[in-house]
Amino acid sequence: MSDTAPAAGHRVVYSTVYTSAATAPFDGDDLTRLLTQSRSANEARDVTGVLLYRQGRFVQYLEGDEATVRELVDRIGADPRHGGFRVLVDDEHESRYFPQWTMGFVSEEADALMPIGFRTAFNDIDVLDEDPAAAVRAFRQLSLMFRDRPGK
């Protein structure tokens, strides 16, 4: 987190990244329902971000008002569809990374279109326990691959 306080009237964007494993397989219909629900709820709360799903693993980046994002993360962490829920990073930014995405999404079906680094970076997130900084770098690498693409 930043050590400096924002100027009066300036709103800082709070962000968090978590990873989890699906407790049951998600097929295309399950993911579509999840995305439809998430996009609607996030738009109402002014939350943006991206959800990555690959081989039963979720990695999600959320950004918005701190209290709103923290409440959302608590609710997601308690959702029985997730196991092994871990917050990788909490941070503050001057602006949003995904301002146009109420919930951008990239799934494993996109693997064939993704560079080799996508698969490596996604797997590197597993090193959180041994090297938290490497896990955060891996997620940032992943997010840069999707940030400037149109929301899906």
| pLDDT tens for the 152 residues of the chain, in order | 444 444 445 578 999 988 899 999 888 888 888 888 888 889 999 999 888 887 788 888 899 999 999 999 999 999 999 899 988 888 898 988 888 777 766 555 544 444 444 445 555 565 555 666 666 666 666 666 655 554 44
* SS3 at position 8: coil
For residue 121, what are the CA distances in angstroms to 11, 55, 152?
31, 14, 21
For residue 110, what are the CA distances in angstroms to 19, 77, 92, 124?
19, 26, 30, 18
Instruction: Report domain extents, the chain.
Output: 13-147
**Residues paired with 51 in a beta bridge:** 60, 105
Task: For residue range 67-89, list pLDDT tens digits in order.
Answer: 999 999 999 999 999 899 988 88
Q: Which CATH architecture describes the domain 13-147?
A: 2-Layer Sandwich (3.30)
pTM value is 0.73
